[in-house]
Chains A and B, each alone.
Chain A
């Protein structure tokens, strides 16, 4: 059994989301900030007339803040609650990977990340982190910017 993943990068880490969950990739992202919004929400995007919230994956995955000089790329995914934009550093290839290369996340992974990164595919010279799209969009329990 192979699955098709679309990959992208965050701080040299490779992430993958199943291609069937991806609607499109945006080379440039124009954001309208939302004051008082949770910190992980970078703002709103105008996707051809539809308003889509953009989630800063660096924030969400507790990585370092992105440098201003490197504007993010947008990955629009389909979730049960509609479309959601993910801000990533750059886009990688679309890959077919075999399930045999999959392994669950190690126990040492930070607990709050365990539901988000369900596991990795062991690729040649690289690990592809498999994101769970519904938990990544679930901001419950995250520190709120309001406080």
Chain B
């Protein structure tokens, strides 16, 4: 793409973001000439660039908007909500067109005639009183000159001296209405006539200007000048370049650590001095580079008023947005990661939290609700609070909803603490909304909010008080590039555990190792302040030791609200490390989050605490919601009947799958099966359908595609295939025979005994295994499905 167009896009998009905020602000203060001028300028510059770059449709649209804005600015029109909405939709339209330009280098097919007509119509509205318009006219004179002020300082020097100009003192004085333009002209003439005094002094001398007014004008000019230079002192840098720099600095830090360790054994003072210097410079460099990636959270917060306006207008509520701590900085990747969750929480707060003006008044609250956003640093993390003064969340309602959805059982609900119950809203399908509205149906759900935040190592907490409002607390790390970890050792190997998950350390008495550990039917637990803490032995989890699991130290780790103890041999220091990703062969191992290079140049694996908990069988609400679904399924209270397809999965094992998980049942001829690389496929309704042989997946737990050299496949006759749609892709699951479709409960059940199965249940009076579709499709070795790994859902 043309560099000019690229620059135009970047600049315009930035300006549009500002425009949103400004327009919403303008609705609150309709006669702010500064805002109007700034908005007008933005639209005007987009229009100008369009004409130049040949985007006609965009130009026509911005032209219409500009006309309307200029009337507003001149005071010939007053900003009505109608006009405000039209202008905002114009901003949206411009944004869409810019997006189109980004892709196609063309401003799209839609000329937005309707919107343009609307803008024109609004233009024809009756003018306001003459008095206001005159006042506005006066403003215009100042505004006209304002845009030039930025460039004026150096460039205007060569201009005709006769014109009073803002960049010069004369112009500033005129603008401040201290003197008339004619006076300035007189003073200039005097200067030309040989008066060597500065213009201000001449004016004062002529008695046209008071000296304190002069001082004020000079100060104002100085201010503007410094503003102009500060704009010049920033440059645009590619984000990829910053990322690379960050990586390189990470390397440098590691190298520095290694050199430092080596230096500790040296006695050469000159060398040690140099190393000291290297150490300091590296630290400073790291900080500096990290700062370049930091951005203030205002980038997110500034978008909120617009979102809030749209949502509140949409559901007839009055909402005021308050922000605090806008300058709080965090890494840009994190900023991006919390963008959607934040927006969603704000929408939620308005849609579900804030009541309608009537009911607010009835509850003794002001009709206008407040959504408060607050950001701050807290112990190496960034804390973001989104609170509203709305109705609060009804815990009982959530419980009953969750029971209704079958996510939890009734007796389980009764036992739940209110904090636990509140966390239910993060489950997919559990909503507190009475009805599905335009707003709550849109965007990401609460489960995705949580997933996104946890994905970057953050957490979400809810506090609520019925009738008084709710607060969502989001905690995210400052940066992802460098994390503090605790280094531990098990069977001679070092592992790094993110501090984020660490709650406390418990040391078992060395003399009587294992004494504090008790067994609950073989499962080790530790009594920690009177409560049983389930224990996981790292050596057992990683299969490091042949003999009995062992260890003297318990790390109390937390995932979500669950705690467990990880038993290791030794606990070393805490250290700041750079996380490096593992190669593709090791990515499938869930217990690792990555690897890092330690100070001595050796590698250490970083443990992924949620993954570890899951592999050890600690039930957590994992990011993909997989285990919670499994645990929800394990409760016996779901008596809902569902349609199930029964089939012979492999070697006579009776299996079932919910009917709604299936796209179709098919009988395919064996001769239609073709080979594509290492997969067997069939041509199916104009698509290529990859086939997975269920019996193979279940038996050998590997390679769901067939071994290409398998001579027993395809069989000469026909094959039964369950066609499953997962994430928009179709897969064929080959089964031996399809037995029946029944409607039954899966009430009586036991846990699964093999992978690929969710549980065994009595279906149609016989024990049947419930197939774990997404588990099978997601098996790490399952190449076919790897491409569509994200978010597989087992319909319950």
Contact = CB atoms under 8 A, between A and B. Distances in A.
Interface of A: 30, 32-38, 41, 44-46, 49-53, 55, 81-82, 84, 111-112, 137, 139-144, 146-147
A40 to B, nearest CB: 8
Interface string B568-590: 00000000000011111110010
Contacts of B591: 36
Most interface-central of A35, A41, A111, A139 (chain B CB within 10 A): A35
A82 B703 contact: no
B585 A41 contact: yes
Given A37-B586, A84-B583, A140 B603 contact: no
Contacts of B583: 51-53, 81-82, 84
Interface stretch (B56-64, B83-91, B528-536, B594-602): B594-602
B544 A32 contact: no
B619 to A, nearest CB: 21
B177 interface: no
Nearest to A137: B585
Contact of A35 (B543, B597, B702): B543
A35 B544 CA distance: 7
A37 B601 contact: no
A51 B781 contact: no
Interface in B522-572: 542-544
Nearest 8 A/B pairs, CB to CB: A35-B542, A53-B583, A111-B709, A141-B703, A32-B603, A49-B251, A51-B580, A81-B584
A108 to B, nearest CB: 13
B543 A36 contact: yes
Contacts of B584: 81
B546 to A, nearest CB: 13
Given A33-B493, A36-B591, A51 B703 contact: no
Contacts of B592: 34
B781 A41 contact: no
Contacts of B605: 32, 34, 44
A51 B595 contact: yes
A32 to B, nearest CB: 4
B543 A51 contact: no
Q: How large is the interface on B (under 10, 10 to 19, 20 to 34, 35 or more residues)?
A: 20 to 34
Contacts of A144: 701-702, 781
B255 interface: yes
B254 interface: yes
A108 B130 CA distance: 99
Nearest to B597: A46
Given A51-B603, A140-B783, A147-B701, A36 B589 contact: yes
B277 to A, nearest CB: 21
B10 interface: no
Given A35-B544, A51-B595, A84-B583, A141 B781 contact: yes
A140 B678 contact: yes
26 contacts: A30-B602, A32-B602, A35-B543, A36-B591, A37-B589, A44-B595, A44-B603, A45-B603, A46-B601, A49-B254, A51-B595, A51-B597, A55-B585, A111-B707, A111-B709, A112-B707, A137-B585, A140-B678, A141-B678, A141-B702, A142-B702, A144-B701, A144-B702, A144-B781, A146-B589, A147-B701
B281 to A, nearest CB: 18
A84 B583 CA distance: 8
A28 to B, nearest CB: 13
Contact of B597 (A36, A49, A112, A141): A49
Contacts of B544: 35
A55 B584 CA distance: 12
Most interface-central of A33, A82, A141, A142 (chain B CB within 10 A): A141
A45 B586 CA distance: 13
A20 B705 CA distance: 32
A41 B586 contact: yes
Contacts of B580: 50-51
Most interface-central of B493, B589, B603 (chain A CB within 10 A): B603
Contacts of A50: 580
Nearest to B783: A140
Given A141-B678, A141-B702, A53 B597 contact: no
A139 B335 CA distance: 37
Contact of A37 (B254, B493, B585, B597): B585
A88 B251 CA distance: 28
Most interface-central of A30, A49, A81 (chain B CB within 10 A): A49
A107 B367 CA distance: 83
Contacts of B597: 46, 49, 51
A36 B542 contact: yes
A46 to B, nearest CB: 6
Nearest to A31: B603
A144 B783 CA distance: 14
Contacts of B542: 35-36
Contacts of B595: 32, 44, 51
Contacts of B582: 34, 44, 51, 53
Contacts of B581: 51
Contacts of B589: 34, 36-37, 146
Interface in B211-261: 251, 254-255
Contact of B781 (A32, A33, A53, A140): A140
B606 to A, nearest CB: 11
Most interface-central of A82, A84, A146 (chain B CB within 10 A): A146
Contacts of B603: 32, 44-46, 51
A81 B586 CA distance: 12
Contacts of A37: 585-586, 589
Contacts of A44: 582, 595, 603, 605
Given A49-B254, A51-B597, A112-B709, 14 more contacts: A32-B602, A35-B493, A44-B603, A46-B602, A49-B251, A49-B597, A55-B585, A111-B707, A112-B707, A140-B703, A140-B781, A140-B783, A141-B705, A147-B701
Contacts of A38: 585
B661 interface: no
Interface in B689-718: 701-703, 705, 707-709
B604 interface: yes
Contacts of B251: 49
A32 B604 contact: yes
B150 to A, nearest CB: 45
A74 B554 CA distance: 38
Contacts of B586: 34, 37, 41, 53
Most interface-central of A37, A82, A147 (chain B CB within 10 A): A37
Most interface-central of A32, A33, A45 (chain B CB within 10 A): A32
B549 to A, nearest CB: 13
B738 to A, nearest CB: 27
Contacts of A111: 707-709
Contacts of A53: 582-583, 585-586
B152 to A, nearest CB: 50
Contacts of B602: 30, 32, 46
A47 B701 CA distance: 33
Nearest to A80: B584
A37 B605 CA distance: 12
A65 to B, nearest CB: 18
A132 B588 CA distance: 23
A49 B580 CA distance: 9
Most interface-central of B586, B602, B604 (chain A CB within 10 A): B586
A5 B602 CA distance: 32
B11 to A, nearest CB: 36
Nearest to B251: A49
Contacts of B708: 111
Interface in B356-399: none
Contacts of A82: 583
B731 to A, nearest CB: 16
A111 B602 CA distance: 39
Contacts of A81: 583-584
B206 to A, nearest CB: 72
